[in-house]
Amino acid sequence: MQTDRFELLFDTYYGRIFRYVRYRVGDLQATEDITSDIFLRVVENYHAYSAEKSAFEVWLFAIARNAVTDHHRQTWRNGSWLAAAVDIESARPSPEDGAIAAERREYLYRALGALREKERRLIALKFSSEMKNTEIAGLLGISASQVGVRLHRTLRKIKKIMERL
Amino acid sequence: MKHEASLDREANLEPEDEKMAELRALLLNADTGAENSRARVRERLMRKLEKQILNDEEKGAIIMRKRSKKPVIAAAAALCLIATATTAYATGFAQTVLESFKVGNIAVERVDQLPDSSQTAPREETAAGRPDVSAPRNFAALADAQAAAGVDFPAPSAVPGYAATGYSLHNSLLEAQYAHESESGRIYSLLISNSENKIQTADDIRAVTVADTAVYFANGIILWEYGGFTYELYQMGGEDFDVDIIAMLIESLR
């Protein structure tokens, strides 16, 4: 892989991959580590990617999904997500960020922490990958209609949880 | 299990209220800490790449048992060697260019020191539209890659004992891959381009005239220009190619 290709790829997808991992695992340090692992795997396997088989985003987020799954296999404990998600750093308002925004973000993370793993996986994919429902469907092995319905239900669930907080 | 049609109806029955739209916006735009973490993630990635190279070197230097590891070496070597002007920056980093010249469309600079790879400027997220990041397109035949690119990339004959294993098209760059016919792990890649690029190295650059062509050796990469195209040769495994082999490659282009 050429350096300019790598740089472009990293810059283009870094934010989305980071968001995906953060929504899946919560913990900031783990997110950083997994994100770097994902890009390492991309570099390692880039030659094997075939545009004829899948869109690049689908291939990339399949790698991301596997990396997160590996992480969960190693570290999963009940409740660990919630504790990690609301760490001090995530809740602290930045200078550009008001206290209200920080509070909403904290509520969002708490709500994500209350979801089932497969719901969190869907939300993370939908709101980080920019993939269409049909592409997400292919990745998750369900129909596009099911993606739409599950997404809608999960969003309603997040909304309810956030309203209770 | 619900029927697909009923699922479709359920998905569309309830119009989204304002709060749902806000929630979608929040999920899309919530600050995840990505920008604060960018430099750290990059540094970790570089460490992992470097560690992988060191491990490979300890095992017997660049001999790749599996062809799949090749891109790691190529990418990492390039990342160490090349500090692209658009991405590398240095806070308080004073770099002296000792030598500068061009090999075809590639600007080569020998500098006294390379910036720390972890010191990469935080960048703004890419604008809403996706940039044209097309993944490489792989082809079994050179002619197919040339046709897809619309560019008649001239590829030299394979080094004796090696055979072409495939061609990858990365926008304006063609990567031709070759593997030794009997010894696994002996491979080489030839990057052929006709677009502008830049290379920096802190190592010595050796210039040799081979087959009436200026050939440059830097950091294990062999560079030359022919017919408006620049050739970068990366070799892994086996003895380094000598000038006779380089001469054969160049002659085969004529």
Q: Any bridge partners for residue B232, and if so which? A: B191, B223
A 135-164 residues inside an 8 A Cβ radius of B: 143, 145-146, 148-149, 152, 155-156, 158-159, 162
Whether the CB-CB separation of A91 and A102 falls below 8 Å is answered with yes
Question: Phi, psi (5° rounding) for residue B11?
Answer: -65, -25
Helix axes A144-164, A99-114, angle to 10 degrees: 120
pLDDT recorded at residue B168 = 84
Share of chain B above pLDDT 70, in %: 64
Choose the closest CB to B27 out of A11, A13, A127: A127
Q: Which residues contact B61 (CB under 8 A, 6 or more apart)?
A: none
Residue of A nearest to B42 (CA): A36
Residue A156 binned pLDDT confidence (cut-offs 50, 70, 90): very high
Choose the closest CB to A5 out of B41, B86, B170: B170
Domains of chain B, residue spans = 34-122+136-251
Type of residue found at A19? R
Contact B86 A7 (CB under 8 A): yes
Question: For chain B, which residues score pLDDT lower than 50?
Answer: 1-13, 57-93, 117-133
Contact residues, chain B, for A113 at CB < 8 Å: none
Distance from B239 to chain A by nearest Cα, in Å? Answer: 23
Whether the CB-CB separation of B185 and B235 falls below 8 Å is answered with no
Helix axes A3-25, A56-75, angle to 10 degrees: 50
B 154-173 residues inside an 8 A Cβ radius of A: 168, 170-171, 173
A 74-113 residues inside an 8 A Cβ radius of B: 89-90, 94, 97, 101, 104-105, 108
Mean pLDDT on A61-88: 65
pLDDT recorded at residue B63 = 29
| Helix (H) or strand (E) segment spanning residue A147 | helix A144-164
**A23 inside 8 A of chain B by CB:** yes
d(CA A119, CA A93): 27
DSSP class of B253: T
Residue that is written with structure tokens 């210039």 in the block:
B207
Tell which residue, B69, B78, B247, has the closest CA to residue B170.
B78
Whether the CB-CB separation of B111 and B201 falls below 8 Å is answered with yes
**B82 inside 8 A of chain A by CB:** yes
Q: Any bridge partners for residue B168, and if so which? A: B138, B175
Mean pLDDT on A46-70: 85
Share of chain B above pLDDT 90, in %: 3
pLDDT recorded at residue A33 = 93
Helices (H) and strands (E) in chain B, counts: 6, 11
**B26 inside 8 A of chain A by CB:** yes
pLDDT recorded at residue B75 = 45
The per-residue pLDDT of chain A, averaged, comes to 82
Lowest pLDDT segment from A63-77, A125-139, A147-161: A63-77
Tell which residue, B233, B229, B239, B193, has the closest CA to residue B216.
B233
d(CA A133, CA A52): 19
Parallel/antiparallel/unpaired status of strands B213-218 and B206-210: antiparallel
Distance from A84 to chain B by nearest Cα, in Å? Answer: 13
d(CA B167, CA B137): 8
The per-residue pLDDT of chain B, averaged, comes to 70
pLDDT recorded at residue B236 = 74
pLDDT recorded at residue B207 = 80
Parallel/antiparallel/unpaired status of strands B197-201 and B106-111: parallel
Contact B170 A14 (CB under 8 A): no
pLDDT recorded at residue B71 = 43
Contact B42 A10 (CB under 8 A): yes
